[in-house]
Chain A
Amino acid sequence: MDGMTAPIPDDGVPLAPPLLSVESVTLEYHAPGRVVRATQNVSFDVWEADRFILLGASGCGKSTLLKAVGGFIAPREGRILLDGRPVHDPGPDRVVVFQEFDQLPPWKTVRENVAFPVRASGRLSRREAAERAEHYIDKVGLSRFADAYPNTLSGGMKQRVAIARALVMEPRVLLMDEPFAALDALTRRKMQEELLALWEEVRFTLLFVTHSIEEALVVGNRIALLSPHPGRMRAEINSHEWDLTSGGSPQFQAAANRIHDLLFERAEVEEESHD
């Protein structure tokens, strides 16, 4: 653990303090009649402009962890620090893009949907909000649909609106909870490309939850692997060398296999030996 909290980069220059620190966080939620532990003693640090991935099978508490960072769930133990300040409530400095399409209010057009959060959080005037919304709608390529209502958009377009809406807030961390999981494979690939292109341009900090090893390798520069029931840290892996063009290469396959082994086989052996 000590080695991971204070990493020394290759060039030997010490790092600035992390933007987001999750420190020994244990999360629990109440199911009827019992308390379920979602994660146990999970720690990780996210630095500015990271594309940090939380990867794990279902039941590893990765979505719950993301919601805790979002401020929707209070940790049972441990704490979450953003810029050194503990996270208590949901706030516009941590905007979430959810998997579900119904995250967009259906009564607002694309333009209104994107401008709404900046207006609601009272950061900008109406005109400034409109201008900035215009800018990000253009960034995600939806200018032609700016006046359409969400019910007339396809799934991929809805997720693009959600991403634009998140970026417009210029959050400290952009939280994405399996944002492309409900999309078809072709659209998902396109969205990954677009997300990376946006990151190249804007350099936002991203915390991204996925259950797909390939998506993790392609989208992220660092991957945290979580084992399920309850979620515990298994490993942190660098993946900055992979991008959308590296899929299918032997090295990429090897990395994917390594992650697969870490997540499944060895974890199972470990659990059996515990029992």
Chain B
Amino acid sequence: MTDILSADAKTATRPMPPVRPEYERPLEPLADTTSEEVLPVYRRLWQRAWLRKSLILLCLALLWEIIARLQANELLLPPFSAAIRALAEDTISGVIPDRALNSLDVLIKGYAAGVILAFVLTSLAVSTQLGRDLLSTLTSMLNPLPPIALLPLALLWFGLGQGSLVFVLIHSVLWPLTLNMYTGFTGVPETLRMAGRNYGLRGLRYVLMILVPAALPSIIAGLKIGWAFAWRTLIAAELVFGASSGKGGLGWYIFQNRNELYTDRVFAGLITVILFGLLVENVLFRQLESRTVAKWGMTR
């Protein structure tokens, strides 16, 4: 015992692994490991993102209802139930769908024009030095400029119609999207670029077949930001100058009802705006992502 201890003490600073007998053996047959553990129902439900998110929404609605009832002032804060009732009434009567369609009409025009312009500008920027300078100068100048600040000017130029709304919408979509697209394009790996040029791809074909898909994560992020900016700008612009030729949008609906102190309808309008945002984000963009960049392993 003492011998071992003393030997231990000598080699304590430099441990040596023991030499063990070798062995060779035939491979074990494959075990059947495909049996899946069945999770309990509540765990499976909890894995659904939409269910968790709905639960959060439900809690928020409940909180609103409680606070409103404690407050007991329908003019300042109508309860959630009242807002939903107003939403249902005006949806059935066709007022809200009508206003929402007006808003969407303008929104899609402005958004599409913004996206096309952003694509043209970014393509210029990736192919020429001057285009790059143009893009960086324009974005640093105009990106911080709030679209609403351009509205008075737009009204002067394009009058009280869709034109001025589309103009400010383009402004709100173009710069953030261009920035994101350009960042995405510059982030495309050099090897992939060379592989693309190796096939003899040039010009627009090179941009469309290599750069755009490779930069798609950034482009989708830019499209999302652009969408949110456009929605915000549109509602704000409608609040400022109201209806054009009797065709008001959701912003106008909110403004009008506030003037008449229908606070529950104001909330109904806001909820509609929120619902559109959720719908586009969670259905449209989510689908786009899961069918492209997520499937390709470019994002998690």
Contact = CB atoms under 8 A, between A and B. Distances in A.
Interface residues of A, number: 26
A270 to B, nearest CB: 34
A103 B191 contact: yes
Nearest to A151: B297
B192 A107 contact: no
B199 A96 contact: no
Contacts of B93: none
Contacts of A91: 198, 200
A152 B297 contact: yes
B159 interface: no
Contacts, number: 66
Given A96-B194, A100-B191, A117 B199 contact: yes
Nearest to A70: B198
A161 to B, nearest CB: 12
Interface in B168-222: 189, 191-192, 194-195, 197-201, 205, 209-210, 213-214, 216
A117 B194 CA distance: 12
Which of B191, B199, B298 counts the most chain A CB atoms within 10 A?
A: B199
A73 to B, nearest CB: 10
B42 interface: no
B297 A90 contact: no
A90 B194 contact: yes
Contacts of B191: 98, 100, 102-103
Interface in B140-179: none
Interface string A4-44: 00000000000000000000000000000000000000000
B192 A103 contact: yes
A105 B297 contact: no
A1 to B, nearest CB: 31
Contacts of A72: 194, 197
Interface of A: 67, 70, 72, 89-92, 94-96, 98, 100, 102-107, 116-117, 120-121, 149-152
Closest 10 CB pairs of A and B: A151-B297, A120-B199, A100-B191, A117-B199, A90-B197, A106-B296, A103-B191, A102-B189, A107-B213, A121-B200
